[in-house]
Structure 1
Amino acid sequence: MAILKHDIGNNAVFLEVGPRGALAGPLRQIFAEASSPTPYVSAMTRNKDCTVSFLAAIGALYSLNVHVNLEAHFPTGTCLSGVPQYPWNHKGSYWYESRLSKEWRNRKYPYHDLLGSRCVAQPIPRYKHAVHMRPQSGREHHFPFCGHNVLADEAIRQEINAEEGFTVRNIIVSTALVISKGKPTEMIATFQLGCLTNSLNSKWWEFTVPSYNGRNWTKHCTREASAQYSPPEQAQDPDALPRKLNVRKWFEKMAKGGLNLGGSFQTLDMMASSTSEQQGMGHVVNGRQEDEANYYIHPTVLDATLQILGAAAVNGYARKTRTWLPTSIDKISLYRCTSDTITNVSAKLLSNYSVLGDGCCTCEGRKVVEAVGIRMSLADAASSGEVRDGHAAARCEWKPDIDFLDVNELFCAPVIRTDNSRLLEELGDICLLLSQSCFSESSSNTTLPHLQRHVAWIKSQSKLTPIRLPCTWTGLDNKTISARINSLLKQLEGTLAAPVASAIHQVCMNMDSLLSGKDLEDILPGRTLSNVYKYLGQLERKDPNLRILEIGTGSGVSLHREIIEDLTRTDGEILCAKYMLTTPGYLATETQEKLFPNMDFASLDICQDPIEQGFEEMEYDLVLAVHSLHKTKNAQESLANLRKLLRPDGRLFLQELCPSSRWVDYVLGALPTWWSGTEGGPIKPPYLSKEELELVLAAVGFGKPEAVVLDAEAPHQVTTSFVARPIHETPIKKVTVLVDEERSAVTHILNQLEKDGYEVIKCRLGDIPPAGQDMISLLDIEQPFFHDIDEARFLSFKTLLLGLQEHGSGMLWATHLIDIGCRDLRYAQVLGLARTIRTEQLADLAICQVDAFDNPKSIDRLLQVLAKFQSRQGDEELNPDFEWAIFNNRVQVARFHPFALTDELLVSDRPNEMATLNVRSPGRVNSLYYERHERKDLENDEVEVQVYSAGLNFRDILVALGIVELPVRLFGIEAAGMVTRVGADVSPDDLQVGDRVAGTMLIPYFTAIHSIVNVGRVTKGQSVLIHSACGGVGLAAIQVAQMLEAEFWQRRESQVLDGPLSHSEKNRIFNSRDKTFVDGVMRETKGVAWTSFSTRSQASSYMPHGVVLRNSEHYLKLESET
């Protein structure tokens, strides 16, 4: 079964080589269960000549197109030559062959990957195809709307041999084609020529595409197609559009919206849009699929046109895009093309959020695609979303830059009280002393190496333990010691240290069982051991980095929940681009609980090279290793492997056991993996001391730890936390200083630079700076440089900046405070200029705002910022920081955080606001919501009403469902309320403030009047038959007929005289659920013609249309699109 589901099972042949076909029965059962007509061949058959069976098997394989190498059986055989020629005579045919077999063998066209093969048994063109989800076809991600076009063009080519091109019109895709991963989907395309008259056919082929899912048939597409015999029109490539789009990010945005196109359909390598009009263009790469010769234009190329249409509808703003799916095209003309194309589209965003547009593709001066009336509707996933804010609103927040902070300030000791630590130490020492005195013969007879080391370590503590205990403990009996143990356990009960105290006590009480080989997990009750690890893992941390890797230990203790909670802002934004949680072994699926979309899980053994395990080098900003290092055999190799994963400016957070308390080794020493060291050598615990860890960090390329934090005051600590960064090359201390006038503040900065070891080169506007050397500008120190700047100075600055960019250098612009504590707004111009230059020219122009240039501490901070700017490194997604502010001796960095402007503007009880009903997602009535607007001034003849109750009528439902499109959507116009304002021309006799009013639209009566009076032209004395008379329109039709003094009869489900029609005569009421109404109407009307008025669809078996139309002057039938 697994082979049949795998790609290797496609078109497979099963050959059994053995004394008999023993597997024939089981294989046929498997084939039947999988609904797979897989052929089976047996080399030998029971009770048959083996030679005959073998030759029959070879013949069967040959008929199944399986090559058989006969030379392996007859290596010495030679071809017989010199035989006289046989006089073959093919004039007569003695083999009877049916038309079906002959046409099938002699097919003119091969099997097509999407259309399939023609069914020769059908008189009309009919093609059958089993659609597989083959990876090379791209269908595992997407079956395109344009794939249905391919069916049409290939069928037309085969039917009438049209090679130039074709046109398709009235394309409607009602249901998406779903392709199962395990089995193929049966699809049929049926074509036939349309009829103009009884004897004249149209040139347009009508075709439908249904599919079978194993239970029922579903119609997907209908359209009309015709061949094109004229060559394509000449056309020029469209003009370039100003807004260039990031293609990769655009596809990522579409994937987040639920439309994952996969690599096959990402054929756009350039996208652009207009800034003022809804236009878009793109360059589409053709030729990646290697099967372009099978199509006029490959569907992946056509699909790119539809992708650009969505970008054009929102002017290229990714935040405004929705997940649109094409549903219909009025007309599209295609010509054969296998080269790259330039696509140009125009679109319009309708009130129901659907997109209507046109597009064309040009190639080498020819218009190869022209589409008119492309309609795209919101997908279900996009329709169910909440209201989107179309504004690109973001808030700039200034936070301390961690690179300039004392990392020790970011840590605080967890809530572990010293009293508990002392009690634990005393309990551990008592139990250790008790174990030493109670060792039995089993302690010396244990054969397990790790237990032998545990016993040796306990004995080695015999001299140290009494020193740490009070002198009063000397000579106490076991009963007194047990009482003290119970007292300590009672004091620690209910604290964080309670699981540890229980573990120490259980190890002491069950020491003989442990030494006899019983596992520690069996000795400790419940989850005691995991709780011990949790106790060891208590810590606080703060880190603002984005890409985080947490090294898991497999013990179930993890920090990801607390870290993600700390990185989540109050508005819900998570300041983490990627969080990878690893475990050293197999990671079960049920444990992979994603707390946010950017969280991932993987297996990682830090003892091995992580690059060979699928991780990328220098990928993470922060690596968290909590209690994972002491579980490895070689701490230095493990840290070296972690070093490979850190970015050059990343940080390693390492927390390891560094206890002075002996209870840690006493409890965990019974584990097989605890003790390290060579056999016969000194007994060492697996953890390293603080000093040893610092040496190992330095040996693998880390600098001096930025912070070393104990979890408690020494000597009560259990764990020690380190924060370290990789050593990176210090940039050469050379800098060019751009100056204008050398006053005191400038001179002080120049002197400080030289004092810090910089080689300083002064430069002025108009000078040529040294190549390949960064620059710091001091032009803004005395006065704002860009305020009232003349053309000559601006051109000099422009030339200088372009020269720096050409040589790969950057500029740090020092200026006064702008964003924080601004004193002079004239300095703010450089901020907008720098952001524009970085965006348009990709130049490294950084800004550093300084609170006081006469403050030595601020100048020191400025030089630190300069050093960071000179060592800048960007990546594919984010540029390095280019904006800082020095305020109160702290270096702050700017971060822009998006927010929903509509939410920020919501204020309760605004007197000048009004609320109107709107629909969030057209097509979903349950997405109605209230939208706020400013109250407008009234026109002279207008009245404002405060609505107390409103209703949605039939017209409102049509608008909400997107069936009726209006320039401005209005709901609830049938309402009741109180007049709050009136216009100047409104007479007080008509309406005035305070009047209670109501308004409605009598749509059933409008419908009935229009149908009976305007269309049916019913007059006095005529007869009217009203179907479904109990409905709203039916009741209105009865009253209109009575008003016209016409005779009327009614059909309804029951002839019982109750409800709104209880006053009607019984002989005028007919049952709508059977055929007796025909005889009744003929009897009552005596054969006189009537007008038949149907307000809704009746059951087809009870609607004899022939009788109705034959005896009716008019037949009016109302149908609702809902």
Structure 2
Amino acid sequence: MSKIGITYGPMFLGLQDISAHPVDHLAVAKVENLVNPKDSPYQLHPTTTDCALQLFGPAASRGQPHSFVKLLLPQYFGEIYTKRPRPNLKLELSSSVSVTGWGAIHGDAFAIAGSEVVLKLLYVHLVPAADNSAADIDPVQAIESSKRLVGAPSSTMAHLEKYRKWLAGHVQQANTAGYEAVDDASHIFTLSSAARLQLIEETAKQMENYNSAPVGRAIIRTFENSVDIFTGKADALDLLMQDEILRKIGDLVAKFWDFGDFLGILSHTKPDLKILEIGAGTRASTSLILDSLVSPSGERAFHSYTYTNISAGFFVQAKERFKNVPRMKYSTLDVSKDPAKQGFELGVCDLVIATNVLHATPYIGETLVNVRKLLQPEGRLMLQEICSSEPTQQRGDGESMLTFLGTKWFNFIVELTQAGFNGLDAVVYDEKVPYYTNATMIASPHNIPKANNKRIPVLSTAPTCSAAARLSNSIAKHGFEIEFCSLTDTPKPNQDVISILDLEGKAFLENVPETEFNLLKAFIASLKSSGMLWMTKSAQVEALEDGGTFERALEAFEKFQARCKDLEVEPDFEYAISRGVIHVPRFQWVSISDELFSRKEFDALKTLEIGKRGALKTLQRVERPESKLTGDEIYIEMRAAGVNFKSVLITMGIVDNYIGDGNGLGRIFNSRNSSFLPEIMREANGYGLDVVLNSLSGDLLHASWKCLAEFGKMLENGKRDFIGQGQLPMDPFEANRTFYGVDLTLYVDRRPLVINSLLERAMEWCSQGAIQPIKPVKYFEAHQAEDVLRGMQSGQHIGKLVMVDHGARKFIYLSRSGGKGKDDAALVDELREARCTAQIIAGSVVNKADVQKAIAQAKYPIAGILQMSMVLKDASFPNMTYEEWQDAILPKIQGTWSLHEAFASQSLDFFVLFSSFAGLIGHWGQATYASANTFLDAFAQFRHSKGLLASVLDISIIGDVGWVS
């Protein structure tokens, strides 16, 4: 198993005494029971289950190691059964499989402890893992190639002579030291040439069944034409271009990688990426990279993508392949030469990509210098190269890839550093040692730091607070120190400031006195061309602090200081730090039609049906034609449907569907066990009940039967025992007890007059208040039908479960105008026409007493809140009066707090905050309006953190309704 990349640790090396049938796909083994019944939470230790899966390999290969050449991964388990075995027993494992034509297997595995089955894995499907490695050098092919080239004349090309020596080295290694991945490599030398050729042919045929088939074809084609290549009669590149072998190898290597996370973060941080790919050629990496550069809304997340190659011959195919990708550019580039002399603008690329191409340039050091010229100071180089623990590829200067990315790795780092990079930021291999074949590296340019002032101004009213101390410590680690300033100081020119006013206790602007408000205005106005980084506590995202929060804040400040006003895209003016990571906000385009379509409510009539009786997962809504009313029928619009245990029996296929029934009684006992029997008898003074209305089954039916007093009557409205042919003891009938079986669905069908009379009587009792709905009532949306039925099935419910279609009909308004506005009367009339009621109460949401008054005067219970308060006092912040600030801020901030506190102990169906897009982007002259709406966005997060409902609607400009219209 280790030869195909499966390396087990000591805990998983549990199989003992493995044996396999030589003809049938059967295998048996033994394994120790690692579960200690005293302290283990496992029925069966996970390593034991893994050993059972391991046994599928010997069964599939009939115990022949050379046939076990592919890693198999479980895809499906039909059934898993486990049981805790007795201690100190060794488990006996067995497996049987069938093998498909493409390498997948289906089988079963069992584990027996003594005479007990403790593990069953039934109907297990395992499939071959995608081939993750190109073919290694085959010693058989190396021997034959070397033999063929012995008599070939010396090549005039230096790299071919290097290749000849390389082959000879592999031949010697195979004969003396052997190969880690090849058993008994020296045995190959004892074979005849014909036998080796046959072995090569068989191996080539086997490779055709795997993803790495193009690699095998390339090896065979090179082998078959090796003499012609050395004598100059054939060109290796031309041979490998035939049948697109080279492109397919590139596609294979590219598929090993997923660039999505890296490119997603990079394009999110800088949406206007300028990307240049060197030596794009025919590889699939370009397609994979472009697929990763797509925003969540489907937009291409880059400004331009320049596709380059040393030859323009690739462009025709590439332009056709990427004809639907916007902002693609095509240009020839020889990266071994100065790009400026080839017409490229220097220092503008955000990302340069080089996939398996830089090794082919004559001098890697000069090549890296040219790449650095293309990058802007904050750019990145994404470099990918084939590498191996064996030197498998030749560079133009004769050094192998082993030199480039192997034993002389340090030399490459030196070259990279001398070319103007900070070494390597990251290196990722496609596999663990020794199975890796490819490495992806990220490098960033080295930039000379600007001569920034070593003293950072920090605005604070409490320089001794903990926030100031933590920030000071973080800044000191980077060689800076804090220079505290207050609101009465004048900021130094051309020097950005960090404000920690919001970290010194409560939010600085919460109920800020007029004096401090005016001081803040004056301080901000005196900043002029300088900026301020205002630090706040968690607001927009879940910001769990760690020890590096202030370290990240300093990074954000450095990025803030490096802002440039001349960029095509505005610099970031907002950062959030969560779990030690700096986040930046981005807007994404959304298709309104797509969003609405996913929520569209269709008018067609639908009925809820079960696809497969007993499987609640198969619940589905099926459209049915609308029937026309006939005779004395009337149309009823259903807003709610009660669900009872009979609904569960219907979906489980126990009874036929017809019509639902169900109601209840006021006094409730536990009906999930027989404890209700003694409690009822105690309540009935030992006499029993005159009437028992029962829906329980099994043993609980018998308990209900025992509750019946002499001359009592029991009405059975359950169906399970009827269908299951349940039995009752006969002796209670001696005391004149009567048992009735009642199915109201039959009354509906065969005794409609009786049902009509019963319904009339029930409605009369309801109107008189003699009967009331069972409490509590749990509400579900229609799409939660499966959850409702599962809740009923589990028995974890009291009374009725109800699904509702929200149809609001009663409104209460709290308004300063109190219904005296010019449009208020028209609104009330319009609501009345829609069969709604409206109650308008005069008052301000800012005033807690007014909010309490509205609650007290409400004619109906308040189910939800729409916070739509707004006062506009537009003015630039330096020219704004304290009164204008208060008037605009308080309705949204203090008003929202008033509502939150007034309903703190009340369960609401919704709490909707009407905010504005201005709170996300800000508008000149609307500082108060923007900040108030930013508060609403944060307040929704606050309520969520308390487990309370809250939704916020950030409204943009609307043409037909609202303030703008």
Q: Work out whether the TM-score is over 0.5.
A: no
Between 1 and 2, higher relative CO (CA 8 Å, sep ≥ 6) is seen in: 1
Higher strand share: 1
Higher helix share: 2
**Coarse TM-score class (shorter-chain normalised):** 0.3 to 0.5
TM-score (norm 2): 0.43
Greater gyration radius? 1
TM-score (norm 1): 0.38
